Chains A and B, each alone.
Chain A
Amino acid sequence: MARIGVVVFPGSNCEYDAKAAMEQLGAQADFIWHTETDLSGLDGVILPGGFAHGDYLRPGALARFSPVMDAVSAFAAQGGSVLGICNGFQVLTEAGLVPGALQKNRGLTFLCKPTTLVVNSTTSVLTRGATVGQELSVPINHFSGSYTCDDETLSRIEANGQIVLRYKDNPNGSRADIAGVSNEAGNVVGLMPHPERAMSTLLGSADGRVLLASFVGLSVNA
C-alpha cells in the first residue's frame, strides 16, 4: 500500500480532501505538519491547496521557507513523487521545484468552476496513467492561477514534455494554456485545478481519479 504524506501548513484548507482522495484510491495518507523534517518511509508527498501562511507577500513565498520544505526538496531530488495542488503548486514554484510562476488571474477575479483539462504529456507521475489528448473535467478554485514563465523556459518545458496539462478553454490567462507542469524528471508535478475534488460523479466529476491513481502508482484509467 502506498504511503502518502499530506503536508499541512498554517492556512492549508484542502488537506482533508487530499487525504480522503488518497484513501479512496487505497493509499495510506497521513498529515505532516509543516515543521516536521522527516519524510522517511513515504512513497509520495502532497502539498495541498489553501492559503499557506496567509498567502502574505506572494502565495507560497513564506511557505517555501517552512522547515518541511528542505525535506521535500531532498525527497524530490531522490526521485520521490511530489504533487502540489493549487496553493501547493504555488509553493513548488516559489521553491524552484517546478519552473515558472503563478500570477493573479487575468481579469483579477477569483475563479471557482469546473474546467476541461487536456492531457498534454504522460511522462509525469500525475499523468502516466492517462493518455495524451484525454479530456478531464476538474474544478479550479483560485485567484493567483495565471501561469507565466519566460520564452526560454516555455520552449524548454514544451520540448521536454513538462507541460502535463493544459486548459481547453483558458480561464485565467495562463501562458500557453498551462494548467500543470512537472520538473524535468517528471516526479514533481504542480497543477492549479483540484483533482481531489473530482473523485465522484455524484459530486460533479470523477476525472481526478485517473490523475491521483497515477500519482499513488495505480495503473487505473478511470
Chain B
Amino acid sequence: MKFFVIVDVTLREGIADPEGATIERALPALGFSGITDVKAGKSFRMNVDADSEAAALEKATALAVRLLSNPVIENAVARIGN
C-alpha cells in the first residue's frame, strides 16, 4: 500500500532560529499583532510503500533521522497526511 507521509523538521529547543526571529520582527510593520514565538522549519511530503501505517512511518522516520534532519540541531517527526 501507498501512504502519504509528511515529515516536519524543526529546530531543537535552545537552538537559535534566525529565520523565525526575523519573520517575527517583520510582523508589526506588516500590521500583524498578537503573533509570537514564530519558528521556521521544513516540511517534506512523500509517498511511502509499506504494509501498514506504522511501517510507513518507521521508514519515513529512518529517512528523516539519516538525511532530512541534522539531529545535532533538529528534531524530525513523521506523520500520515491527508
Residue pair B18, A106 in contact (C-beta under 8 Å): yes
Residues of B within 8 A of A61 (CB): 67, 70
Which of B12, B14, B67, B70 counts the most chain A CB atoms within 10 A?
A: B70
Task: Tell which of B14, B22, B67, B70 touches A150, judged by Cβ atoms closer than 8 Å.
Answer: B14
A59 CB, nearest partner CB in chain B, Å: 10
Give the bracket for the number of chain B residues in contact with chain A: 10 to 19
Q: Does A177 lie at the interface of the complex (its beta carbon under 8 Å from any beta carbon of B)?
A: no
Q: List 26 A-B contacts (CB under 8 A).
A: A57-B67, A57-B68, A58-B70, A61-B70, A65-B67, A93-B72, A99-B72, A100-B72, A101-B70, A101-B72, A101-B73, A103-B15, A103-B16, A103-B73, A104-B18, A104-B19, A105-B18, A107-B18, A108-B18, A146-B16, A146-B18, A148-B16, A148-B73, A149-B72, A150-B12, A173-B16
Q: In whole angstroms, what is the CA distance A146 to B15 when docked? A: 11
Secondary structure type dominating chain A contacts: loop
**Chain A interface residue count, Cβ-Cβ cutoff 8 angstroms:** 21
